[in-house]
Homo-oligomer: A and B are copies of this chain.
Amino acid sequence: MSPLAETQKVEHLAQIRGAAVRINGHVRRTPLLRTDIATGLMVKPESLQRTGSFKARGAFNAVLSLLERDPGVAGVVTHSSGNHGQALACAAKSAGLPATIVVPEGVTPAKVAGIRSFGATVVSDGVNFDNRETIAEEIARTQRLWLVHPYDDWDVVHGAGTVGLEIIEDAPTPGAIVVPVGGGGQISGIALAVSVLSPGTAVIGVEPQGAADAADSLHSGALQSLDADPITLAEGVKSKSIGDRNFDVIVAGGLVRDIVTVSESELTDAVRVAWMRLKLAIEPTAALALAAYLTGKVPAGTAEHPTVLVLSGGNFDPAAVAALLTG
């Protein structure tokens, strides 16, 4: 276990810059917004990204990189109950490639419909959260499809890292950048970009209290996993552990300053603040960073060195949102 060398960081930054060029025109540059809450606060609403989440960046980078390496590839496959599945389906369709998405039974019909709307094949018979990765690997092997892992994949990480590039272009020296952590794809990409471009910026992760495996990994220095499926409103960060590549950046690499946790009621309050005061219809997972900010668990920021919250997506269930608004 050793921190990333400067040469490794520079090489990753070059890959992230390459990703930015590759996905330009396929994904959007999201704005970096000031808010009425505080002058030291800025938000990066990836909810406004194509397909409604930052996942489009990694998915397009993975599909387009794959076609550069192997123009004859038969298609792509992944396991995802949500945003990554939709993003990969969109990227594959855009590139003219077939996509198969392995989805656990019982997932919200709206999400499955979102994946199907891009023409992808959905496999869900007998699929659950424990066997979905194995099933996707089996499909990749037997059908000769390329498996695009939701977070433990360098193309995906480098695609997500373009969020960091854009933040630093718009606000050169943020005091902190705060990012939700599930499998760790987004925060490792952002941390890699920022470690070279603005080494003084603290990259901080946020997890729900009930799914704090990444915080435990960072604080113990060894990869920790959840024993059971976590129960949290933040359904985008339910993975039981971060990936190996993500561990190498976040924990071993020393590029993430801290990972803090928020309670479900802190998260619920933050969702309301996002809708009512930020005027952004984000999904609960995307409110993790705002919850940490509102409860003082991350630095407040200043006008010169703002705290930037990454609002990772906007694909919410309307009934759940309605209940929160009136609750």
Contacts and interface: CB of A to CB of B under 8 A. Distances in A.
Given A319-B326, A325-B318, A325-B321, A279 B36 contact: no
Interface in A10-52: 28, 31, 33-34, 36, 45, 47-48, 50-52
Contacts of A280: 48, 279-281
What's the number of copies of this chain in the assembled complex? 2
A120 interface: no
A275 interface: yes
Interface residues of A, number: 28
A314 B279 contact: yes
Q: Which of A272, A318, A319 has the most CB of B within 10 A?
A: A318
A272 B318 CA distance: 9
A276 interface: yes
Interface string A256-280: 0000000000000000101110111
22 contacts: A28-B33, A28-B34, A31-B31, A31-B33, A33-B48, A36-B50, A45-B279, A47-B279, A272-B318, A275-B281, A275-B318, A275-B321, A276-B281, A276-B318, A278-B281, A279-B282, A280-B280, A281-B281, A318-B325, A322-B322, A322-B323, A322-B325
Given A33-B48, A36-B51, 5 more contacts: A28-B33, A274-B281, A275-B281, A279-B314, A322-B323
A51 B278 CA distance: 10
A45 B51 CA distance: 19
Nearest to A321: B325
A321 B314 CA distance: 16
Contacts of A318: 272, 275-276, 325-326
Contacts of A321: 275, 322, 325
Contacts of A325: 318-319, 321-322, 325
A194 B232 CA distance: 49
B322 A52 contact: no
Contacts of A275: 281, 318, 321
A47 B33 CA distance: 12
B314 A322 contact: no
Contacts of A319: 325-326
Interface string A159-186: 0000000000000000000000000000
Nearest to A283: B279
A36 B48 CA distance: 9
